[in-house]
Amino acid sequence: MAEKCPACGSCGMPMEKPEDFARGDVSRPYCRYCTDARGELLSYEQVLETNARFYVESQGVTPAAASAMARAMLADMPAWRGRH
Amino acid sequence: MIKQSIHAATRREQKVVTRDRLVNAAMALFARKGIVNTKTADIARSIRMSHGVVFLHFPKRDDLVIAVIDEFGRRLAAEFRQAFEHDLGLRAVLQAHLRVLEELEPFYARLVTEAPMLPPKVRSTLMMLHAAVSYELFAALERERKAGRARKIPRPLLFNTWIGLVHHYLVNRDVFATGDSVIAEQGETLVNHFMTLVKP
């Protein structure tokens, strides 16, 4: 098996390098994309929007499909579990 | 105290080993029987574990499918990292992508064949991996373009053209390959063709 690295507790992105973590701090549970300049977790809506945009920009799926996929991805993440 | 922590560490290691065995067994069975058709009981039986152990590690069946896709993602990330250490070119990125697909080909072919039928979270996980590949491809294309070796292509179309080509060969691998791996037999042709398509 390949070596495992921590994954962001908000979006699941593998965090391999220090710069992948919030504020470059490897002890933080979230990635730099899911946090603000102070390292605080963004709102659910902001994280959802970032993830949906990632699907649209990379593969050209419709915004509605991208949003549904992002919602499915976030549903079981530690940061958002039990939200609904 | 020391004895207790050694014991705890051993238990943790044992847990990781069991989890890895389950992921490997799942990948093998998914490849052979299909993802939709494989039951968690079959996976447990194939490595002589009790069915309960599967649920201890993966409370939902989807979690196990996602763990297998994540393993694929980890190997992909490692392969890309290695490719970048030696060569930042588009060809190297395409070859790195195909190396991982070839390594996991029987499972990956099932995954893309069944993708539209899979639960939303599983499909979203696969599409997120595609997104990561798309970004690597586009970054490599842009580097080639700045060096005058490629033309401008929108990010989604660049990726969809590449993945559409590769997936067509994978989904129909029985008619495009004489042996076990269509990537081994056709991969180089696909990379060469794609490199021709992106030329200025």
| pLDDT tens string B19-33 | 999 999 999 999 999
pTM (predicted TM-score) = 0.88
ipTM: 0.86
Judged by CB atoms closer than 8 Å, whether chains meet at A58 and B160 is answered as no
Judged by CB atoms closer than 8 Å, whether chains meet at A2 and B123 is answered as no
Tens digit of each residue's pLDDT, chain A (84 residues): 445 678 899 998 888 889 999 999 999 999 999 999 999 999 999 999 999 999 999 999 999 999 999 999 999 899 998 776
- Indicate the helix (H) or strand (E) that contains B82: helix B61-86
Nearest CA in chain A to B17: A1
Distance CA A23, CA A30 (A): 10
| pLDDT tens string B123-138 | 998 999 999 999 999 9
Q: Which residues of B touch A4 (CB under 8 A)?
A: 74
What is the model's pLDDT at position A4? 66
For the cut 80, the answer to whether the pLDDT of residue B5 exceeds it is: no
| pLDDT tens string B44-100 | 999 999 999 999 999 989 889 989 988 888 888 888 878 777 777 999 999 999 999
A41 close to A30: Cβ distance less than 8 angstroms: yes
Q: Which domains does chain B have, with CATH numbers?
A: 61-197 (1.10.357.10)
Nearest CA in chain B to A3: B74
C-alpha distances (whole Å) from B123 to each of A1, A46, B16, B36 are 23, 22, 25, 12
Which residues 15-74 on chain A approach chain B with CB closer than 8 angstroms? 16, 51, 54-55, 57-61, 68-70, 72-73
φ/ψ of A41, rounded to 5, equals -65, 135
Apex B69 CA angle, B9 and B100, nearest 5: 100
DSSP state of A78: T
A65 close to A47: Cβ distance less than 8 angstroms: no
Nearest CA in chain A to B128: A55
